Amino acid sequence: MTTTNTASQPPEPLAPLGSARRTATAVDALADTYFQQCMALDPSAATFNGIPGHETEYPDFGPDGRARRAELVRTTLEKLDEVQPQDDVDRVTLHALRNELEIEWERHEANLDVSAVNNIESPVQGIRQILDAMPRETEQDWQHIAGRMANIPAALEQYRAGLDEAVALNRPPSAPQIVEASQQAEQYASDEGFFATLAADPAAPASVRADLSRAADAAREAYRGVARMLREDFAPVARESDACGLEDYRLHLASFLGARRDPREVYDWGVQQLLALDAEQRAVAEQIQPGASIQEAMAALNADPARQLHSPEELQAWMQKLSDTALAAMAGTHFEITEPMSTLECCIAPTQDGIIYYTPPSSDFSRPGRMWWSVPAGVSQHNTWEETTTVYHEGIPGHHLQCATALANAGELNEWRRMGIWVSGHGEGWALYAERLMAELGFLDDPGDRMGMLDSQRLRTVRVIFDVGFHCGFEIPEELGELLGGARAGEVWTPEDGWKFLRHNVAMAEGTLRFEWLRYMGWPGQAPSYRVGLQMWLDAREQARAREGADFDLKRFHSRALRLGSVGLDTLTYALAL
């Protein structure tokens, strides 16, 4: 999966981040028009990007919304041939936009863009989750929250129409995801759930509380209706298996990578990577406790009181301190970090889904970047050796540095490049690369913390194997031997084989691991984009090193790459070679 360009050429110097002042071109105008139309079709994305004017709205989750999105993709693709690039910035924009739109159009024609049901990235979660990103400082902020909640019943009605369309097009949701999503909907609507808690928030102004309460009651009733709808109307017509098949999987994987890769090649590569990681972890286990297995070394780490956190409050304070320390160490030495980029808030999420995620700053940095940790019910202990690498993944030098750098490059990038494109293989690949980089830079020299980083890499490698193998119907690889954990070598992957494989290889609380297992089955192609994306970032670094020879500078490589925005990985390779 590695290619190397050995031609040598001296690198051009980079101006300070944020200092570029470039005249907008016809390519920029096309990209920004497309971006603005995207925001009009997806008001939730507008809110995430801090763009005003859509604060109470939701996207149309029904067939009409899908059709309007497809028409925008089609017409924008046609317009790409009408503009000529003026410089390398334009060339990258055109390459990135064409790559994204062509893959999306193929997905539309294959009916892969119909409404979905899963446990992490479907309207069941997204309709609620956008409320986390809305400001809560002024009376108007709270009015916007009440207004958006009041529109939840209509949004969920459109979602139902979208699911009806999915069934009609022979793309019904799966039974396992329906069970999980309906339970999530019930939890959101419960007396102790998200909406009841939000309505009772003491920070809400008295003038808004009545509207907030009415809207929350309507949202709770609508979510109860969704839970019933999924169980009663869609469970009977659901497909039994989540497996999508090889041809659909090719498109799913291409969409998440922004690059086309052969699933079989990715699968075989993942097997070899797991064998190598297992050997590396065995060596670290020996450092932690001579003679110990990986599992025994992890047990010793878990038993160390100095590595334990016992409440969400302790977790929040610990990750904020670790994040602040990393930011101070990185700024000006290994990365460009401007003053607006220097605020990163670490938060406990108002849900119990088990998700750890990042929300970027608004375009003007008035809303800071935030790392969210959703602590599952029943999880009362966190072990810092496992989680140190996660803070680097989500914060500095991971997602926060990545997103904030693109936002800070406003003088060079159009709005679409700054805010409108997010390719998982680029974004998650970078965050996983950031974990490895922190080890290279000496921040994970403690054997426990290094074991945590390797365990994170192992998780991402294991799920390459299960995700690709399960969805494509590949045979379970015999060469993994005992690492299969009871999965049946030579047989086609089943969910039960995947569960045994994950249980054996991943150090994670059972509830959290179950969430992950369901995620891989219900969101094909997304999970492998982390580890494949990491490899493509490593390849890009080595290609730059080969081109530049003795002139290669790691900080400059990172700055140049991150200033591009979250383009597809094929575009990343193209752009860095210009």
pLDDT digits (tens, 9 = 90+) for 510-557: 888 999 999 999 999 999 999 999 999 999 999 999 999 999 999 999
Mean pLDDT over all residues of the chain? 94
Q: What is the pLDDT of residue 10?
A: 65
Given a cut of 70, whether residue 464 has pLDDT beyond it is yes
CB 400 within 8 A of CB 371: yes
Q: Over range 272-278, report the average pLDDT.
A: 97
Q: How far apart are CA 551 and CA 548, in angstroms?
A: 5
For residue 569, the surrounding DSSP H or E stretch is: helix 569-576
Quick one: the chain helix, strand, coil %, rounded to 5? 65, 5, 30
Given a cut of 90, whether residue 3 has pLDDT beyond it is no
Read off the tokens for 110: 């294959």
Identity at 400, one-letter amino acid code: H
pLDDT band at 212 (very low <50, low <70, confident <90, very high): very high
CB 99 within 8 A of CB 80: no
> Does this model's pTM top 0.75?
yes
Given a cut of 80, whether residue 167 has pLDDT beyond it is yes
Q: How far apart are CA 310 and CA 312, in angstroms?
A: 7
- In total, the chain counts a number of residues equal to 578
Computed on alpha carbons and rounded to an integer, the radius of gyration of the chain in Å comes to 23
CA–CA–CA angle 547, 552, 558 (5° rounding) = 105
The HSE-up count of residue 424 (CA atoms within 13 Å, CB side) is 18
Given a cut of 90, whether residue 14 has pLDDT beyond it is no
Given a cut of 70, whether residue 188 has pLDDT beyond it is yes
